[in-house]
Structure 1
Amino acid sequence: MQADDSDGSVLTCRNFVAGTWQDSAGPGIERTNPATGKVVAVAPRATASEVDAAVRAAGDAFRTWRRTVPAERAAHLHRLGEACAGRVDDLATAITREQGKPLDEARGEVRKFIAALHYYAEEATRVYGRTIPNDTPGFTSIVEKEPLGVVAGIVPWNYPIELVGWKLAGAVAAGCTIVIKPSEYTPGCAQVLSECLARTLPPGVANIVFGDGSTGQALVAHPHVAKVGFTGSLATGQALYRAVTGVTGLSLELGGSCPMIVTGSADVAGAVQGATRRAFRNAGQICIAINRIYVHDSVYDAFVEGLATAADALTVADGLANPAADVGSLTMDETYRRTLDHIADADKRGARIVAGGGPLEGPGLFLRPTVIADAPDDALVMTEETFGPAVGVARFTELTDAIDRANRVPGGLAAYAYTNDTRETFALAGELDFGNVAINNVDAGIINAPYGGRRESGFGSEHGPEGLESYLQLKHVRLRHGA
């Protein structure tokens, strides 16, 4: 695969079902590079009957896969990780061409996907049941954990390979089979992944169907799907919640407006560095990106000056032409426009634009990283998830007020804080109503700890042992042995 668009190459995607690639009767979808506007991939829009074929293939494979011993499932996942390690650049290039993030950042995403495969390969061998003594002689109760069945994995465009790993690795390690529906904005990297799947997993264990919302609806509503794992927007998550049938299991990771609190005792330089990374990485298109920052009055001016300087120093460029760029193009015109709307709204409400504030000259969906100082609490950037490279900053004097303002906005996925005061640390950790709280760092999620949101940010956990447990169900076997 070429590392640029100069040859005009277009990646052709085909549904991957039961270990083979299938043509689709549905109309095609063209995906353009958001940095250049050139077509880089074409994918089918899988029909309901094609989705049904993929689910049935997964169901057929489940009959055998569920009975494989954990060590065998682990070996397959390790082999998949090794196969993907040999194609890091192919996968990363496809991500950058479709999604826009710099190539070096895309390589990092692929490596995190590979790490998830190896982690869950090991977790597969650590699924334990238990025995329970009965109150009657001659009986023993055994509690076993068994795989749920066929899983539907709905994956967004912002981390189109890494987020496949969270669902695929956990489900497969648990003994489930899976049908993955990638975003229509990032089909090409899933096509490359299918080539690795074909070499390493038995047919039908992992399947891929391409398409848009209609394909996703057909998948989640399928009566033979035992669980749906979804990452995406609140609106899509609500529609999906209504689409599932019967008692289908469901986990939703829906993002939200993530706050950061900087107290008067904080290391301001460290807080600036953390805010710069977590507000602008992937052009702000991260579910746990920092949207709004509340800074104590005593360090407010120093923090705003430092963050503005750091934002202006970031390199914004085509992620293929400059693989080491700090910020690439945005992925979608919708997100590009929303970010500009949030900046304009804050400006009208009297906030100060101290860095960035608008697009770069030339083609592509490029925006300068933007810092909005003195942002009022009712500004859009402080109340909605921007999902772009803009962050609002506001003052506070009392920590209880900052915590209340942080909790007041809908969503509860991740919150951040910087403080060097022990009492403040425990107050923040205890009172911030978020599924993930990071203090003096901005890495709210790690692969071996549970990751999930509260309230409007969804329910269920990925990562950690909990990410595998969510694909298991309990069985109580009460045995009369007479001894």
Structure 2
Amino acid sequence: MPGELTTPERKAHAMTITTLNNYIDGGWVRSETTFKALNPADEKVIAEVPASTATDVDAAVTAARRAFADWRHVNPTVRARHLHSIGDIVKTRERELAEAITTEMGKTIGEATGEVDKLAKAFHFYAEEATRIHGEVIPNDVDGFASLVVQEPIGVIGAITPWNYPLELVGWKLCAALAAGCTIVIKPSQYASLSPALLFSCIDEAGLPAGVANLVLGGGETGPAVAGHPGFDKLAFTGSTATGGKIARGVPAAKPLTMELGGSCPMIVTDRADIDAAVAGAARRGFRNAGQICIAINRIYVHETVYSEFVDRLTAKVSELTVGNGMDPAVDVGPMATRAGVDVVDQHVRDAVARGATVTTGGTRIETLAPGNFYQPTVIAGCNPDMLVMREETFGPVVGVMPFSDLAKAVDLANGTEAGLAAYVYTGDLTQAHDLGRLLDFGNVAVNNVDAGIMNAPYGGRKGSGFGVEHGKAGLEGYLQYKHLRIQYGTRQ
């Protein structure tokens, strides 16, 4: 088990674990040194977490390399059965896993439950995709030859994941890698170790062969040890643009990388939009998970003819959001995961006000909920492109709004940052919908909705938001490599 759990019942484990362990080569491995994980709602200690060293990473990579020799040749239907089994166990333990997420990073229990449900579905989706890895036969220009093109697993994967979706973002990499026949070592964020450890107890319960999936927990030393380890055949990273850049520059040899980085996502509301729908979308995608989502709406450009109406309605809707401990089912917005994140949010709000913007609701820390990391859901009107909130990723419960008169200018502003992950459009005009979908330079564009990613379609960014994709068949192919097998079987003519 991941920690000091002695009771057989699967209940409230997130509240009883006191010491977590790494999961290496099919077993739980203690670490010599640990650090304390805190609940962001009250800063109480929830777990002792391994501060894994390069030696721990070495052990995990060695186990994964040894397991890859067999796992790569396991029949896809068998790999599928393993994934289906894990998905079933995850769904059975949904409440336990959700409570762990809320306890360690703050999102509401409803959102956490939804995340676990999506994780279970990812296991089942990639279980089916494992059996659909096909090759092709290529015609030759001479008789007596056959060219077979097959796809084979890349090898041992190193995966580094963030805290904002501590299970779902692990699942995207884990499920696709295992379905492809790869083995994996996962290093989650130091701010979200509890739920990944419980996920690996599900994996252990399902009987996945030893070494196929490994977990190393840790803080500052562990991430670089994974990113720089020469034993990986591919690295998959989700996190900040700055950290992703360091990883890409520091890999020890040429190898495939998948990078899903920062967002600072724009939303364009045209003069032909359904304002009620646009307001509802902005409130949902701007403040879900306290705005701590790579595809959160950060900056909103609204046509001047509907600008005042939009700001008034959004302000009213956001002001009604209830903030508190995410375990309370009546709460809409939980705490931010880190104190450093709150500081960035406060900096962006202060910068906007100093440059002439107006806070229409929110705008301050919630001191009555101290020492938790709580910030009021905030709408800032009258923004301009020079403000931090309109050019950098805030990653918190804040949206900036500015008017536009020329749609082409709004597109230029939306495209005018290094962000290229997701953009949103609200318009009732079909021509505008297609034009904006074509002109916005983002990997994902959602029109008249705010769900920019679905499991069976490619999901990835451009420019400073990274490269490579996850989700869908394309996400699976990111863990495969091509081989051309050319066979002479007859007489050449």
1:263 aligns with 2:247: no
Are 1:217 and 1:243, in contact at CA under 8 Å, matched by a contact in 2?
no
SS of the residue 2:300 aligns to = strand
The 8 Å contact of residues 234 and 257 in structure 2, kept in 1 or not, is answered as yes
Q: Report the counterpart of residue 446 of structure 2 in structure 1.
A: 438
- The correspondence for 1:212, drawn from 207, 219, 222, is 219
Question: Which digits, 9 at most, give the CA deviation of each residue in 1:150-186, with x for residues without a partner?
Answer: 0011010000000011000000000000000010001
SS in 1 for 2:369: coil
Aligned length: 479
Structure 2 gap segments, 5+ residues each: 1-9
Aligned with residue 112 of structure 2, among 93, 106, 109: 106
Residue 242 of structure 1 is aligned with which of 234, 243, 249?
249
- Written as runs of structure 1 = structure 2, the 5 A alignment for 1:423-434 is 423-434=431-442
Match of 1:296?
303
Counterparts of 2:380 and 2:302 in 1: how far apart (Å)?
13
Alignment of 1:406-425 (within 5 A): 406-425=414-433
- Give the 5 Å matches for 1:352-431: 352-360=358-366, 361-363=368-370, 364-431=372-439
**Distance in 2 between residues matched to 1:284 and 1:317, nearest whole Å:** 15
Residue 116 of structure 1 and its aligned partner are, at CA, apart by 0.7
> Which amino acid counterpart does residue 130 of structure 2 have in structure 1?
A
CA contact (8 A) 1:251 1:460 kept: yes
Q: CA–CA distance in 1 between the matches of 2:56 and 2:13?
A: 33
Q: After TM superposition, give the deviation of residue 242 of structure 1 in Å.
A: 2.2
Distance 2:105 2:12 in 1: 14
Q: Which residue of 2 aligns with 1:139?
A: 145
Q: Which amino acid in 2 is paired with 1:22? A: V
Q: Which residue of 2 aligns with 1:155?
A: 161
Deviation of 1:414 after TM superposition, in Å, equals 0.3
Q: TM-score, structure 2 length as denominator?
A: 0.95
Alpha-carbon distance in structure 1 between the residues aligned to 2:43 and 2:138: 62
Contact 1:129-1:143 within 8 A present in 2 as well: yes
Determine the C-alpha separation between the residues in 1 that align with 2:377 and 2:245. Answer: 31
User: What SS does the corresponding residue of 1:241 show, helix, strand or coil?
Assistant: helix
CA contact (8 A) 1:11 1:188 kept: no
Q: What TM-score, normalized by structure 1, do the two folds share?
A: 0.97
Q: Quote the Cα distance in structure 1 between the aligned partners of 2:280 and 2:254.
A: 45
> For 1:313, which of 320, 339, 344 is the aligned residue?
320
- Whether 2:177 is the aligned partner of 1:181: answer no
> What displacement does 1:9 show?
4.2
> Percent identity among equivalent residues?
53
The question of 1:48 aligning with 2:62 is answered no
Please report how far the alpha carbon of residue 359 of structure 1 lies from its aligned counterpart in structure 2 after TM superposition: 1.9
Q: Answer yes or no: is the 8 Å Cα contact 2:298–2:393 preserved in 1.
A: yes
1:346 is aligned to 352
Q: Could you tell me which residue of structure 2 aligns to residue 466 of structure 1?
A: 474
Contact kept in structure 2, 1:104 and 1:324, CA below 8 Å: no
Whether the 8 Å contact between 1:263 and 1:418 is mirrored in structure 2 is: yes
Cα deviation, residue 4, structure 1: 10
Q: Does the aligned pair in 2 maintain the 1:12–1:188 contact within 8 Å?
A: no
Do the aligned partners of 1:151 and 1:227 also contact (CA within 8 Å) in 2? yes
Give deviations 1:71-113, integer Å, cap 9, x for gaps: 1111100000011111111111111111001111101111111
1:450 partner letter: P
Contact 1:403 1:431 in 2 (8 A): yes
Structure 1 spans left out of the alignment, 5+ residues? none
Supply the distance in 1 between the matched residues of 2:119 and 2:210 (Cα, whole angstroms): 21
Q: Output the amino acid matched with 1:251.
A: T
Q: Which moved further from structure 2: 141-150 or 207-216?
A: 207-216
Cα distance, 1:3 vs. partner?
Answer: 5.5
Q: Which moved more, 1:353-362 or 1:424-433?
A: 353-362
Task: Give the C-alpha shift of residue 37 in structure 1.
Answer: 1.0
The counterpart of 2:87, out of the listed 67, 81, 84, is 81
